[in-house]
Amino acid sequence: MIRLETDRLVLRPWTDTDGDLFFEINSDPEVMEFFVFRRTRPEADELLAKWVADADATLGFHAMELRTSGECLGFCGLQLAHVEPHLPTKAVEIGWRLAKRHWGKGYVTEAAVKWTGYGLADLGLPEIVSYAAQDNRRSTAVMEQLGMRRDASGDFDHPRVPDTHPHLKRHVLYRITAEEWRKQQKAGNPVPSRFRDR
């Protein structure tokens, strides 16, 4: 069971007690601005149950909680991208979602820095990717803060976004290889863990 810690956060598997927060972040229209679907409470509970059952998995989006209070804020983690044929079958993405009331405090970047290092150093992944709807500057700003580079040649129309939402189909792609990450670490310029994000 994976449990990581940063200065302010604990990154841990989900539990059944996280249901209220999980529903909040999956139904909030601003948090989900660049996603097609908002989940009802039964739909959110069903997905959470699957994630709880996968607590021992190596990859997955893990809960993000404050160390001082134990309050769950959202999630961050690594998982298989599942956007074939645009990315290889084994491509691993980093992703996140945060309750709106916690925006602007750098929590996402702090968690993502930890997960990036864990994936590239501890798990030995050759590369981590991330992608978002092309107008989602909140997410692409975090990708840039992580030292990821934009790969415009890899931009794609997301296969699970229906034609009814054309403004959400086009996604931009960012990448960071293990070699690039190691060079950043050696340069002594780690991404500030409290870099402001939204």
Question: Where in the chain are the domains?
Answer: 4-186
Task: Specify whether the CB–CB gap between 148 and 175 falls below 8 A.
Answer: yes
Going by C-beta distance under 8 Å and a sequence separation of 6 or more, which residues neighbour residue 68? 8
Model confidence pTM above 0.85: yes
Amino acid at 24: E
pLDDT at 106 over 80: yes
Q: What is the pLDDT of residues 166-194, one digit of tens each?
A: 999 999 999 999 999 999 988 876 554 44
CATH topology of domain 4-186: Aminopeptidase (3.40.630)
Residue 30 three-state SS: coil
Torsion, Cα 79 84 182 123, to 10 degrees, reads 40
Backbone CA torsion sign across 58, 99, 161, 144: negative
Going by C-beta distance under 8 Å and a sequence separation of 6 or more, which residues neighbour residue 50? none
**pLDDT for residue 190:** 55
User: pLDDT exceeding 90 applies to what percent of the chain?
Assistant: 90
